[in-house]
Amino acid sequence: MNLIQNLILPGLFGIIISSLMPFLSAPACYGTETQAQPDDAQTLRLLLVPEKNSFEQRRRYKYITDYLSRKMEMNVIVEMMANYGEISVAFQNGRADAGFFGSFSYILTHAKTDIEPIARPVWLDGSSTYRGFIFVRKDSGIESVKDMKNKSLVLVDKATTAGYIFQRFYFAYNGISNMENYFSRISFARSHDAAAWAVYTGEADIGGAKNHIFNSLKEEYPDFREQMMVLAESPEVPSNGFAVRKELNPAVKLRLKTLLLTLHETAAGQQVLNNFGALKFIETTDNDYEVLYNMVRELGINLTVYPD
């Protein structure tokens, strides 16, 4: 098995100030001032997963959705999901046209509704992928899986790669087939930053979350950088993929794809990307998720019925 890459990082992390707002976040919608009915041909229903603090999430993506709304002359209604699994349910129930997905929420929804991936962002550091982390406080005395027995674990959501699937795979690889019996408590923070803060503040002993979120906290808060340590990381998987329902009007689908993939070619588009925090969008296909599909197969997960 070559899917696991262990990483012991020497000096890491620092200070708290961010709140655990994602625990309290609720679905929210925004779009143009006059919202059309969901079945209106001039309306595009776009969903977001709760990757981080909901206010920051809405702010960043609004630059993209407002741009799409202007260029397509459509009313883009955006809804923030309460959890990662809800986006799959929304597509199954016909309540969405497009969305920005985490990698596992994408393959889960693809298995149930056959959505089509179109593009994904290339972040300012040049990456278009992310990893899952397993982390602890440096003063926890935890350095291996053996040290984690009867400790508390905080994850993000059962429909995330970086905040559940990778950790489940990692522990299974290390001989732990039943996490519930191995840890004293397993809780779900609902967002990646909340999971990281939970470990930093001592609410949990071990945590799992996305590397980009964890590293952004490390850069912003010196004490977080000093106190926290990463024990393991996952293989890379596609980041924040944009996908549409298969039945979406082909012309609309093509227009969306073209707008995203050429966004970096104009000054106005570059400004949107800068505000969003990305360099450009690149084309994305289902094949890009093969590493994750392999992980899911090894765990014996049936995507068509998960999480039942």
Q: Rounded to the nearest 10 degrees, how much is the dihedral formed by the CA atoms of 226, 231, 233, 239?
A: -30
Please determine, for residue 290, whether its predicted confidence score (pLDDT) is greater than 60: yes
Whichever domain contains 251, its CATH number is 3.40.190.10
- pLDDT value for 83: 85
The answer to whether the beta carbons of residues 112 and 60 sit under 8 Å apart is no
- pLDDT value for 36: 34
Last residue of a domain, one of 195, 211, 236: 236
Are residues 150 and 210 located together in one domain of the fold?
yes
One-letter amino acid of 276: F
Please determine, for residue 16, whether its predicted confidence score (pLDDT) is greater than 60: no
Please determine, for residue 93, whether its predicted confidence score (pLDDT) is greater than 80: yes
Please determine, for residue 10, whether its predicted confidence score (pLDDT) is greater than 70: no
Q: How many domains does the chain have?
A: 2
What tens digit of pLDDT does each residue of 144-155 get? 999 999 999 999
- pLDDT value for 9: 35
Rg over CA atoms, the chain: 19
Are residues 290 and 215 located together in one domain of the fold?
no
- pLDDT value for 41: 66
- Which residues have CB under 8 Å from 124's CB, separation 6+? 277, 278, 279
- pLDDT value for 121: 97
What tens digit of pLDDT does each residue of 229-278 get? 999 999 999 999 999 999 999 999 999 999 999 999 999 999 999 999 99
- pLDDT value for 30: 37
Are residues 120 and 30 located together in one domain of the fold?
yes
* Band of pLDDT at residue 40, cut at 50, 70 and 90: low
Last residue of a domain, one of 186, 214, 236: 236
pTM of the complete model: 0.82
Please determine, for residue 33, whether its predicted confidence score (pLDDT) is greater than 50: no
Mean pLDDT, the chain, integer = 88
Report the alpha-carbon distance of residue 209 to residue 214 in Å, rounded.
7
Are residues 211 and 199 located together in one domain of the fold?
yes
Please determine, for residue 5, whether its predicted confidence score (pLDDT) is greater than 60: no
Q: CA 26, 113, 283 angle in degrees (round to 5)?
A: 85
Are residues 115 and 259 located together in one domain of the fold?
yes
Are residues 293 and 218 located together in one domain of the fold?
no
Structural domain span for residue 83: 22-127+238-299
* Band of pLDDT at residue 131, cut at 50, 70 and 90: very high
Are residues 123 and 152 located together in one domain of the fold?
no
- pLDDT value for 289: 98
